[in-house]
Every structure is written in structure tokens, then in C-alpha cells.
Structure 1
Amino acid sequence: MSHRLTHYRILVDDFAAAHRFYRDVMGLEPVFPADGGPYAEFRTGAGSILAIFQRSLMDAAIGQPHRPRTDSIDRIVLCFNVDDVDKAASELERRGVRLVSPPADQPDWMIRVAHFRDPEGNLIEINAPLPRQ
């Protein structure tokens, strides 16, 4: 049996807010459909696809009662590589994003990182490699 990861799908309660965030704030290109809902895919620039889907419809598709999102522990982190973490973080703040953690070096990880959340509370990381010493 062969497995190939095709895309990442985030389940959302507020599709419109999530769509605006990933399109307008993160600057991802919508590829299916261009807008609307309850499902959309965005090109990440790394050859992979990030999808968002209305949570209640996913629950219905798998035959379980709708379970709204809860603010509990983080289960995933979406990680995006950027050219300059500080510049990207500043631009995100100008677009209304509140950073969870400001840009900081993580020498053990060999990257500089900053973290923030999407409208659904999902943790997002932007990172860039630290210069080699």
C-alpha cells in the first residue's frame, strides 16, 4: 500500500473569516474555488495545497454530530518558510494579526521563528533558517 499526502485540510466554523484570512492576510492564492464556500483550496507556494472546509459539513460527511471547536491544546502547527521572519511578522501585524510570540532565534531548531493564530485559533509558524556559523 502506497500513501501520498495530497493536501492539508483545516476544519473551520467561520468559513468566511478563515477564507479572508488565508487569502488576504496570509496572501495565499485560492485555486479551488476562487471564492465562496464551504470548501476552498489555496496554493502555498511550496507545491502543496492548504484547504479549508466547513466543520459542520465534515461532521455530517462522516456521520457524527456537529462538534464545535474548543479552545484546548494545540494539535497542529502550520509552518510556513519565509525569506525574512522579522519583515513578514511586521507585515502580518500591519494586516491586523496579533503575534503569539515575536520573532526569535531557536538555535536548537536552526531557525528564526514567530507564531500567531488564524481566526479559528490554529497555531501558525513562520520561519527562516538561521545563518550558518
Structure 2
Amino acid sequence: MQHDEFIGQVQNRAHLSSRGDAEVATRATLETLAERLAGREPFNAAAQLPRGIAQYLQHEYAGSGTRFSLDEFFQLVSQREGIELPDAIHHARVVIEVLTEAVSPGEISDIRSQLPSDFDPLFEAGSQGRMRVNT
């Protein structure tokens, strides 16, 4: 999948008004995911993505394995995106959905193996609507 296709899919599925908004949602989600993963895992996933998307998984805190819950993940995405939490939850879900189509099933399995089970809903394909977060 090419950069423009990835961002276009995020924009379309999240019903965002611009490609710039889709880029911000993608960056916020993938940067946060990269911090939650440990070791080389974010870099392994990045190797399967176009450079413009891959860079979001390759920042200085990528692979740090910072422990946080799914609720905290959504809070961080919301802060990074500068939007309300319900919208950030929806955007993060869409970005992960596109990510699962852009990288191999084995890589998604590797990513999921590092995350606690409370992250499972983030990866469940075909979910409709907005996910709920515990506050």
C-alpha cells in the first residue's frame, strides 16, 4: 500500500474533511502505538509501510514498551490529535484497521502479542460505530 492510498483510506473511512486531518490521525495513532510496543517491533512494522507512514513508527520513543491501557492509549491519541476523545477513538480504530491491511498478518500478530487483551477491540475488523472508553 502506498502513502497516498493509506491516508486516503483513513480519510474515507473516518469521514475526515481533509487529507491533512487523516495524516494527523495516522501520525497520532501510530506514534502512540510505537511507544506502547517494545524492542524492534515498531521498526519491523515500519519496514512494511511506505516511508511517509513508516516514520510515525520510528521516532525516538518507539519500542520503549511504555505500559498504558487502551483507555490511556486513546487519551494520548486524543491529546496528540488535538481533538475530543470520542473522535480520537474512532480515528485510532480506523488507522489500525488500515494498518492491518497494509502489513502482513504475521506482523499484526506480533504487534498484538505485545499488547494486553484490553487492546483486542482495537484490532477487531468490521466493527461499526465508535468504540466506548471507560472514564
TM superposition score normalised by structure 2: 0.29
- RCO (CA 8 Å, sep 6+): is it higher in 1 or 2? 2
Which structure has the highest helix share of the two? 2
Bigger strand share: 1
- With structure 1 as the length reference, what TM-score do the two structures score? 0.30
